[in-house]
Structure 1
Amino acid sequence: MRYRELTDLVDDVLGPVQGRLLLDELVLGELGGRTGAVALADGEDPRAVWHALCDELGIPDARRWGSDPHRQAPPRRADR
């Protein structure tokens, strides 16, 4: 997953305002107590950030990939 795909999903699934706020301010245990924005700045894979954000918010798998029926869910990394 690329950064642009992450931001598209954040906007689609969480809303452009709330989603960006959550990415910037929600501390995620799966990311070592960092926010998504800090983790991305530290070089974390955007896919790991997206999964951590969805896990923390309880987003079900069926909603994680937004409204585009052709968008394919990127697999989780084996170590997550």
Structure 2
Amino acid sequence: MTKLRLGPIEDDKPVKVTIEMPAHVLRDLAEYARLHAEENNQVEAMPAERLIAPMLERFMGTDRGFARKRRSRGN
């Protein structure tokens, strides 16, 4: 079985933001939440919006171009 890229999600103090996304992306996100819960032996899926921040964090953490530019700017 293929593992999802997103591992367990830490419970952190959230900051509210408002975003717009296409409906098909939200449907896929909800499906991802369901599969994530199943893979992590959770009884029910967390709200799909809780996945957005960890997904963005993982994306930015694995973006080599972002890391390179960030290092070159001294951040």
TM-score normalised according to structure 1 size:
0.29
More strand by share: 1
Q: Which has the higher contact order (CA 8 A, sep 6+)?
A: 1
Structure exhibiting the larger radius of gyration computed from Cα positions: 2
TM-score normalised according to structure 2 size:
0.30
